[in-house]
Homo-oligomer: A and B are copies of this chain.
């Protein structure tokens, strides 16, 4: 691993566990075991480093979700695969999902739009789920009024649930399974009909 990569990895860990403000250049360089000056040399400002780190994690997440949901046939199958992959990613080794939880409120609002931005990458994630839900509406495996609206609710739950799991002290062991069951019950078409 190059020193540049070591810095990025250390940054992802520290931003994720300590948050943006509590993560300093000094901590990052010490954890990476390289000189302080290299941070500015390779990544410029702290803000830029943070956004870049988020971008990498988010791209990994979107790729993972695309691959996972592609393994299903029906809309319902693919929706559940999407959700399971999301939750798995949040607790996967080295996925650095925690970092994304830090970025939501603090930084997202201030970033510009346009391709190649966090905004644009998040949009992919939203659109992916929306398309899956639309398919489910067409193949009758889902019983939802609006793919767009349901997408919002599901993503709210996935983000809220992973936050509960990773940051709260009110955890339960089966949370992720419970969330998946909850979603399934709410969106699956009643086969009896």
- Asked if residues A169 and B105 are in contact (CB atoms below 8 Å), the reply is no
| Minimal Cβ-Cβ distance residue in B for A21 | B21
Most chain B C-beta atoms within 10 Å of own C-beta, residue among A145, A146, A156, A169: A156
The answer to whether the Cβ of A63 comes within 8 Å of any Cβ in the partner chain is no
- Asked if residues B153 and A109 are in contact (CB atoms below 8 Å), the reply is no
How many chain A residues have a CB neighbour from B under 8 Å?
45
- Asked if residues B149 and A175 are in contact (CB atoms below 8 Å), the reply is yes
- Asked if residues A19 and B106 are in contact (CB atoms below 8 Å), the reply is yes
Known contacts A160-B159, A164-B156, A186-B185, A169 near B102 by CB under 8 Å: no
Name the contact of A109 in the complex, choosing from B157, B160, B169 (C-beta under 8 A). B169
Chain B contacts of A161 at CB under 8 A? 153, 156-157, 160
Complex alpha-carbon distance, A102 and B167, angstroms: 12
- Asked if residues A156 and B175 are in contact (CB atoms below 8 Å), the reply is yes
Chain B contacts of A149 at CB under 8 A? 172, 174-175, 178
Binding site for B on A (CB under 8 A): 19-22, 101-102, 104-106, 108-109, 119, 122-123, 126, 145-146, 148-150, 152-153, 155-161, 163-164, 167-170, 172, 174-175, 178-179, 181-183, 185-186
Shortest Cβ-Cβ A-B pairs, 3 listed? A160-B160, A21-B21, A186-B186
Query: What are 28 residue pairs bridging A and B, where the CB atoms are less than 8 Å apart in the complex?
Result: A19-B21, A19-B105, A21-B21, A21-B22, A104-B163, A104-B167, A105-B163, A108-B167, A108-B169, A119-B169, A123-B170, A126-B170, A145-B181, A149-B178, A150-B182, A152-B175, A153-B175, A153-B182, A155-B160, A155-B164, A156-B157, A156-B161, A156-B163, A156-B175, A159-B163, A163-B163, A183-B186, A185-B186
Give 4 A-B pairs besides A101-B105, A152-B170, A157-B160 with Cβ atoms closer than 8 angstroms: A21-B21, A21-B22, A108-B167, A185-B186
